[in-house]
A and B are shown apart, each in its own frame.
Chain A
Amino acid sequence: MARILLADDSETILLLVRTRLEMEGHEVQTAADGQEVVDAVREAATPPDILLLDAMMPRKSGIEALRELRAAGLDCPVLIVSAHTGAGDANGDHAGLAIDAYVTKPIDFDALFAKIAELTAG
């Protein structure tokens, strides 16, 4: 199964998503903000298979973290979790970040698992 780096500033959501992902057999590492995401990726021996980032987090948002990581050459698939419906078209500044999909809160876990399977199948 996939090695997933999960980031959300809400502990309850982090625990919920982590639990569900682990129940599906994924290996999950968590981060509470964008800076922790950047640090985790830099310190890891091999980059994660997939990033699952909350778009809005204090200190450094998921989008800012992704921008830094993409600039540094990270090329794994990325899912952005957002409380905004239609986040994809609302934020034109996501161009060039190679975001694979947007996940809207509340999370539809079946759809999320299907997306992860599709992105890590190759």
Chain B
Amino acid sequence: MSDLYRELILDHYKNPRNHGELDPCDAHAQGQNPLCGDDIAISMNFSGDDVSEVRFTGRGCAISQAAASMLMELVEGRSVTELAELPKEELLDEIGVPLEKNPARLKCALLSLGVLKLALHRAKGTPLPEEWVGFEER
């Protein structure tokens, strides 16, 4: 079996954390990976400068959906400013499987983080950093 599908990934895929939608919410974004059709939507509420609540919905491969679920655990309780700058390495460390040799799957893994950044920068009114441009909304 491929070492991409370690226990933790499968657990997050089968039992996604913070699954759902916040309505109304303070920030929202949705994005797709046009190559494979993975789709993630994230909604958040803020308390002061902190993210107090976060939820996601989506469809797609195990890597994209498990990564989104893992991202939820990284987000809650942290400040909007800090999260807007969150380095992708932090999520990739959490995922913990080798993706460097597999650029197509790296895109799956980072889709949720791209959508999170889109939602945060939109809420703050700041421009989305170049490296995250491209997860366009339909």
Q: Do the two shown chains form a genuine complex with each other?
A: no
Query: Which residues of A does B touch, CB under 8 Å?
Result: none
List residues of B whose CB falls within 8 A of some A CB: none
